[in-house]
Amino acid sequence: MITFHHIIAKLKDAVVSYQLPFNQFSLSNRLIFLDEDLSTPLVSDSFIFCSTETFNRCMDLKLPPRICFFVSGTRQELPVHIPHTCNYIAVSLSFPVLCTRVMEIYQNYSSCRDKLSRLLPNRQCIETYLKDLSLSLNSACYLYNDEYQLLLYAHSGGRDDVVNTDFIVSALEKKPFCVTQDPTYGCYSYLEQQTFHNRTFYLHFVCHSDFSDYDISWIAAEALSHILTSISDYNIPLYTTKELAAQRFLNEIMDGSLSNWNEVGARYTSLTPYPVMFTTVVYILMPEAAEAMSHVFFLSELNRLFPDFVTGPYENDLIMLAPNSDKYSRLDLHNQEFNRLLERYSAFAGCSLWTKFRLRTSVILARSNAFFGMTLHLEGSSRIFYHNEYALYHLIDLAADSFREVHQSRDLTYLLHPCILKINGYDLSHNTNLLEVLYCYLLNGCSINDTAAHLNVHRNTIQGKILKLNDLVNEDFTKNGLIQCRLLMSCMIFFYQDRYLKEPFSRPQSMQYSFKNLDGIKK
C-alpha cells in the first residue's frame, strides 16, 4: 500500500491546508479524478482529485466514510462545512497539474512495487535485493534478528555509513514506528519489525536526508515481508556474521583446505573472545527433515547458552568448538538446559575428548559418538553422549569392518560370550530385562546399590537378578574381572549389531530388543 502521508510529502510545496481525521489511510487502485463529471461512484477508501467547484458540488452528495479529497486551486475561502467522515487536503496546483503530479507519484509507486516483489530464491538474491533498495533510497539498509544481531546489510556509495545501533532499542518504544532524526550521527532512521516463526526481525534504514521522496513505511513493510516470505518458501538460512565465519572455518577444516596447524590456530583465535589452548568438539546431529530456520533459531539459542564457544553450521548439522583449557574429559554443558534444547529440536549431541590441533579428527569422533548414542539408545532420556562412554564402539566398529572384509559376513556372534544370546533369549521368553541389568551392573563397577539407583529399582530386585544371571552365565562373574570385561564387551557388540547394524544374529529372536523403555525415547 501507499499512504496519503507519502502523497502529502511529495506535494508538500503545494499543500495549502488539510484536515486529517483518520489515522490510517491507504491507496491501492481507488484513484478517482473528477472535474465536471460527477457520475463516477464514490466509495469508501477512495482518493478523489478534483477542482474547488467540483468539490463544492460533492458536498451536496451523501458521501461514504473514509474518502480523501485532494482539492486543487483553493487559494480562496474554504467551504463552510467539511464532513468529519472524510479527509480534506487543499492543494495550490491547477487540476491538470495536480493530476499529472499524482500520476507520476503512482507510477513511481507501481515501479517500486514491482522491484519489491522480485524473486528471492537464495541468500545471494536477498543480498542483491537489499543493495538495490539501498541504492534507490540512497540509504544504508540493515537486517537484524530478534537479538539485534546483524544478518545482512547494504549501503549506497563507496563508504560504509556510520550507524547508531542503539536506535533499534530506543525505536522499539515508539508505536507505530516513524522516521526519526538522530542528532548524534546527523542521519534519519526508520525501523520496521515483523514476526516470523514466533521470532521478530528488524529492517533498519539509515539516510543522511529525509525520506520525503519515498513512502518509507510502505517500502520497509513490503521489503521485510517479502524477505521473510522468501526465507520460508525457499528454506533459506540467514546466519549472523559470526556464524558465517564459523561455518567457513569448519568447512575448510573438514575439506582439508586448512591443514596448517599455525593457520588453524590463528583462525580459531580470531573467532574466540580469548585465546584457547585446548578444545572439545561438540557435534550436534540435526533431523534430516529440519528446516533451515530451525538451524538458524537453534544456533541463536546455542550462542546464548554457550557465548564463549565457536558455533556454526556444517552440512545439515551444527558444530560447537568448546574451550577446555583444563582438559576435562566431560565438559559441564549445562546438561539439563542443553538436553531440553536438544529435545525441542529433535537433535543429539556427541562430544570428543580435548584436543590441541586435531580438530578434524575430533569432529569425526564427536559425530560418531552422537550417531552411536542416538542409534543405540543406552542413555535413557539423555541426548548428550560423551567420548569415554562410546570410545569402545569405535573399536567395535573397526573390528566389524575388518571381520566383514576377511569373512564376508556381518554376523559378529563369534565375538560374543556364549551366554549373551542365552540371556537375550531368556528375556524374550520370560519378559525380563536381565541383559539390561547385566550391562548396567558392569558399567557401575559391579555395585548393586549404584545399579539399583541407575535403574530406579530396589537393591533386592537387582540382587535377585544377579543370582539368576550367575546361573545363565554358568560361572560367578561378580568376582572375575576378565569375565566381567568380556561380558561388557559382549553386551556392546550385541547392541552394536542389533541396533546399529540392524543385522540378525544366528538366532532370529535376538533382533528383538531386551530393553523395555525404548518406545518412550523420542527419536
We report the CATH number of the domain holding residue 72 as: 3.40.1390.20
Q: Would the pTM count as exceeding 0.95?
A: no
**Mean pLDDT over residues 78-100, rounded?**
83
387 and 305: one domain? yes
More confident residue, 106 or 507: 106
Report how far residue 477's alpha carbon sits from residue 494's, in angstroms, rounded to the nearest whole number: 18
Q: Note whether residue 512 is domain-resident.
A: yes
Helices (H), 272-386: 292-305, 335-344, 359-376
383 and 423: one domain? no
pLDDT bracket for residue 7 (50, 70, 90): confident
Residue 160's CATH number: 3.30.450
Q: Note whether residue 403 is domain-resident.
A: no
49 and 22: one domain? yes
* Helix (H), strand (E) at residue 151: strand 150-154
Q: Note whether residue 181 is domain-resident.
A: yes
Q: For residues 491 and 497, is the Cβ–Cβ distance under 8 A?
A: no
Residue 492's CATH number: 1.10.10
98 and 144: one domain? no
* Helix (H), strand (E) at residue 142: strand 140-144
127 and 217: one domain? yes
* Cα Rg of the chain, angstroms: 35
Q: Is the pLDDT of residue 364 over 60?
A: yes
270 and 382: one domain? yes
423 and 356: one domain? no
Cell numbers given for 317: 548439522
More confident residue, 450 or 82: 450
> Is residue 42 left, alpha or beta, with left meaning phi > 0 and alpha meaning psi from -120 to 50?
beta
Which range marks the domain in which residue 307 is found? 241-396
Report how far residue 227's alpha carbon sits from residue 239's, in angstroms, rounded to the nearest whole number: 14
| Total count of domains within the chain | 4
Q: So what's the pLDDT on residue 354?
A: 93
140 and 189: one domain? yes
The pLDDT mean for the chain works out to 84
Report how far residue 416's alpha carbon sits from residue 268's, in angstroms, rounded to the nearest whole number: 44
Cell numbers given for 207: 539516510
253 and 379: one domain? yes
169-173, 200-204, 336-340, 488-492: range with lowest mean pLDDT: 169-173
384 and 250: one domain? yes
Q: So what's the pLDDT on residue 263?
A: 85
Question: What does the pLDDT look like over 448-503, one tens digit per residue?
Answer: 999 999 888 999 999 999 999 988 988 788 888 899 999 999 999 998 988 888 88
Q: Note whether residue 112 is domain-resident.
A: no
Report how far residue 200's alpha carbon sits from residue 315's, in angstroms, rounded to the nearest whole number: 26
Q: Note whether residue 405 is domain-resident.
A: no
DSSP-assigned states of every residue in 32-100: EE-SS---SPP-TT-EEEEEHHHHHHHTTS-PPSSEEEEEES--SPPPS---TTEEEEEE-S-HHHHHH
Q: Is the pLDDT of residue 511 over 50?
A: no
424 and 350: one domain? no
The bridge status of strand 187-196 relative to strand 180-182 is antiparallel
Residues of the chain with pLDDT > 70, as a percent, come to: 88
Question: What does the pLDDT look like over 131-169, one tens digit per residue?
Answer: 999 998 888 899 998 888 889 989 876 444 445 556 666
Residue type at 356 in one-letter notation: K
**Mean pLDDT over residues 333-355, rounded?**
93
137 and 187: one domain? yes
Report how far residue 180's alpha carbon sits from residue 514's, in angstroms, rounded to the nearest whole number: 67
**Mean pLDDT over residues 245-272, rounded?**
89
Q: So what's the pLDDT on residue 523?
A: 38
